[in-house]
Amino acid sequence: MENTIYIASLVFALVVNTFLALYLIRTKEQSVALLAFVVFITLISVWGYPQFLINTFRIENYMFTYLDKISVVGYTFLPIAFLVFVLAFTERLDSLRNFQNVLLIFIPPVLFLYLSWNTSLLEYHTVDTIIHAPWGLSSPPSTYFIVFLIWFETVMMASLIILIKFLIRTYDSLKRRQAFWIILSALIPLVVGSITDGAMPAFGQANIIPMAIPLTSVMGIIITYAVLKHDLFEFSPTSIISSIGEGVVSIDSKGRIVFANDSALEMLKVEPKNIFGKSYFDVVRLRSEEGKVIPLKDRPFHRALTIRESIVGNYYISTEKVRKFSVAMTVNPLIKNKKVIGATVSFRDITREKEIETSKDEFISVASHELKTPITALKLYTSHLERQLSKKGDAQSILALSKIEHQTDRLLALVGSLLNVSKIKTGKYVYNMVQFPAQAIIKDAILTTRPLIKSRKIIVKGSTRRTLYGDREKLTQVLTNFITNALKYSQKEIIILVKDDNKQITIGVKDFGQGIEASDVKHLFEKYYRSKKDEYSQGLGIGLYVSREYVIAHKGKIWVESRLGKGSTFSFSIPI
């Protein structure tokens, strides 16, 4: 049999391609790119099987025509399948939403198929016209076959150019690797096959070896290798999102769930079939950190859609099967062509973190409580000794003792601050809300800080006759903290600014110190934060944290404006 080798290579190619198609179609993560690729290799089989039959068995004339026509379907649609695959792979499928483009892509192959089946313009399909090439039998090309060939090569080249451009431009190393293997594997049968099966016959060199189909087995082998060795097609964006630890749920603009990853399904204990297409608000119930049910219009999803920005916060969520648990949640609006098309919610279970936080706060509370007792004893011993020594008139020892006392007081202040923080965190702080003249805050604060002020100059600019409703002591503490800081960081005068604009009262403290680094400003009001430069000064940096908590409890705002080398202004405002 003269075509044994050709038949053998055909069989090999077809087996490899068929198994590859079956393997890929069964992978878990389906995507348009993968499906288009499966169609692509299936079309190669559609092209190849009839060729195999023609070359293997003695075929009747009508049968030959029939098989050859099926074969034509395979290679006519081949470039289109490859193009769709490339567009999907490079995330350019959007271009197919345009109806004109779809017509432009699909009309030529349908036309060519029609001509090939019903006319002799492109190819002949009868036994008597068959050509005996060294390795097999082939249908001879007709007059206008060259037109088809040019179209075929153009679409293929365009696809490859898109792919190569993508390979050069993308920074996604995974996609680069995938693109590389696809180009490498598809290029071999396309280039060589185009020459042997297309160009050569078209130019009258028909008695050459038809290589396209056997070469696709090489492609099949390379892709199989890439699939097994480099997880080609395994790492799709969907598979990555599915596997991440955070729960991810995508919702369309009407609030229906369109996607949920594995973590989300597991955390919410829901089945995909029960939630897709369902209203997100029916599936996931949301409560604020304080345990209050959040009304629909205030849910982060709606806020994200309205303001078109990400909403970040801690909430309690629950579903039909899951009791409420704490999550840190981010809701990102999905915006396409300036239109909000939905939102993606990602969340993380923070129950454990919350427990740790609570036990840490409790520890601080107990520890600082326990610390108070020995410090009290220490103070009592010191004052007792001081009294004894003053009776004897030992001035030198008294001086040393007064220093011990000073340090003891410092220690006490630190313990006190720690206790304050833990109280605020555990929500134990009780606010004593009363009506009082706002101006009292300034008077009280200056009175409290008088021992620190000494010879320094404090200027008060502005005043108010307004009555405030709030905790007088705590608001005074905020201003006291500002003044104490200003005295600590600046050696010049300090200005207290008071402003009343009928909506709110703003009180600020301006110093002419070294100013604060921009990188420090945003952390300034955090718990335990202290600037790196600040190692010599006192305090745990919780003064500002406590101040912030106080001001927030009054529905007010707290902020700082600072310029390096010029000084800073710390301000807070309380709504009237």
Interface residues with other proteins (CB under 8 A) are 369, 372-377, 379-381, 383-384, 387-388, 412, 430
Query: 257 vs 418, which CB is nearer to other proteins?
Result: 418
Q: How far apart are the first and last CA of the chain?
A: 101
CA 23 – CA 30 distance, rounded (Å): 12
Q: Determine how many CB atoms are found less than 10 A away from the CB of residue 91.
A: 13
Reported as type and span, the H/E element at residue 318 is strand 311-318
Residue with Cβ nearer other proteins (59 or 401) = 401
Least separation, in Å, of the C-beta of 420 and other proteins? 10
**Minimum CB–partner distance for residue 279 and other proteins (Å):** 46
How many whole angstroms separate alpha carbon 558 and alpha carbon 40? 62
d(CA 142, CA 88): 34
Least spacing, CB of residue 372 vs other proteins, in Å: 4
> Is 555 strand, coil or helix?
coil
Question: For residues 90 and 96, what is the distance between their CA atoms, to the nearest angstrom?
Answer: 13
Closer CB to other proteins, residue 192 or residue 412?
A: 412
Q: How far is the CB of 386 from other proteins (least distance, A)?
A: 9
Smallest separation (angstroms) from other proteins to the CB of 509:
26
To other proteins, the closest distance from the beta carbon of 553 in angstroms equals 17
For other proteins, the closer of residues 240 and 377 by Cβ is: 377
In the complex with other proteins, the residue whose CB is nearer, 340 or 385, is: 385
Q: Are 221 and 13 within 8 A, CB to CB?
A: no
Cβ nearer to other proteins, comparing 191 with 367: 367
Q: Are 502 and 464 in contact (CB under 8 A)?
A: no
Question: To the nearest whole angstrom, how small is the minimum distance from the Cβ of residue 365 to other proteins?
Answer: 9
- The smaller minimum CB distance to other proteins, of residues 363 and 381, is found at 381
Written as six digits, the tokens of 422 are 């833990």
- Taking Cα atoms as reference points, which of 505, 506, 503, 483 lies closest to residue 495? 483
Beta-bridged to residue 496, according to DSSP, are: 460, 509
Residue 142 structure tokens: 């007709």
The strand pair at 257-260 and 247-252 is best described as antiparallel
SS3 149: helix
- Smaller CB distance to other proteins: residue 8 or 380? 380
Instruction: Report, in Å, the least distance between residue 419 CB and other proteins.
Output: 8
